[in-house]
């Protein structure tokens, strides 16, 4: 990790409590004119997050975060949106980590949706783990786009 991006990522990773990442092969994405994004998700954490997901989230967000049959962009009879996919086919990757954690903690704004609040039901560590699992569902391409969103969110 010599690049500035690498340093920022290291800081972010530690900040998220994902410290302890090992040196498993990571994917480097270097495209012309694009800074390389090093993808480092701790496989142990991702496995923990998968277990949290399968216990608490799968019933709504579907196997592997693929969502439910039907269009997640169409409101149901109550005027609420169905649970969206959390893989890279929908919207989750448009959000920086802090926002994903907030949605999980707080759920839908009161009365405006059907995402439960997990505050008090999951620990902060479990929420971070499940976010790591969600990120593991994204393709390298989408991860790279998310990375830019994350960087922008960290700018002062």
Looking at beta carbons only, is 46 or 130 nearer to ligand HEC?
130
Q: Which is nearer to ligand HEC, 46 or 86 (CB)?
A: 86
Q: Which is nearer to ligand HEC, 25 or 79 (CB)?
A: 79
Q: Is 81 in the site for ligand HEC (CB under 6 A)?
A: yes
Q: How far is the CB of 45 from ligand HEC (least distance, A)?
A: 14
Selected from 35, 36, 38, 56, the binder of ligand HEC by CB under 6 A is 56
User: 102-141 mask for ligand HEC (x: CB under 6 A)?
Assistant: -xx---x---xxxxx-x-----------x-----------
Cα gap 138→114, rounded to integer Å: 24
Q: Tell me the number of residues near ligand HEC by CB under 6 A.
A: 25
Do the Cβ atoms of 129 and 48 come closer than 8 Å? yes
Contact 88, 137 (CB under 8 A): yes
- C-alpha 114/C-alpha 64 separation (Å) is 20
Distance CA 49, CA 126 (A): 7
Q: How far apart are CA 44 and CA 136, in angstroms?
A: 12
């Amino acid at each position: 990790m010599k690049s500035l991006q690498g340093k920022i990522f290291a800081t972010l990773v530690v900040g998220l409590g994902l410290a302890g990442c090992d040196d498993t092969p990571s994917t480097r994405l270097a495209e012309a004119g694009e800074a390389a994004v090093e993808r480092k998700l701790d496989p142990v954490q991702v496995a923990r997050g998968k277990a949290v997901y399968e216990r608490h989230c799968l019933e709504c967000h579907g196997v592997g975060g693929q969502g439910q049959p039907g269009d997640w962009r169409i409101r149901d009879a109550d005027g609420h949106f169905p649970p969206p996919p959390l893989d890279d086919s929908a919207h989750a990757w448009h959000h920086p980590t802090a926002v994903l954690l907030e949605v999980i903690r707080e759920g839908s704004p009161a009365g405006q949706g059907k995402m439960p609040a997990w505050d008090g039901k999951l620990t902060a560590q479990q929420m971070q783990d499940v976010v790591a699992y969600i990120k593991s569902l994204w393709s390298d391409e989408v991860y790279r786009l998310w990375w830019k969103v994350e960087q922008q969110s960290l700018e002062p």
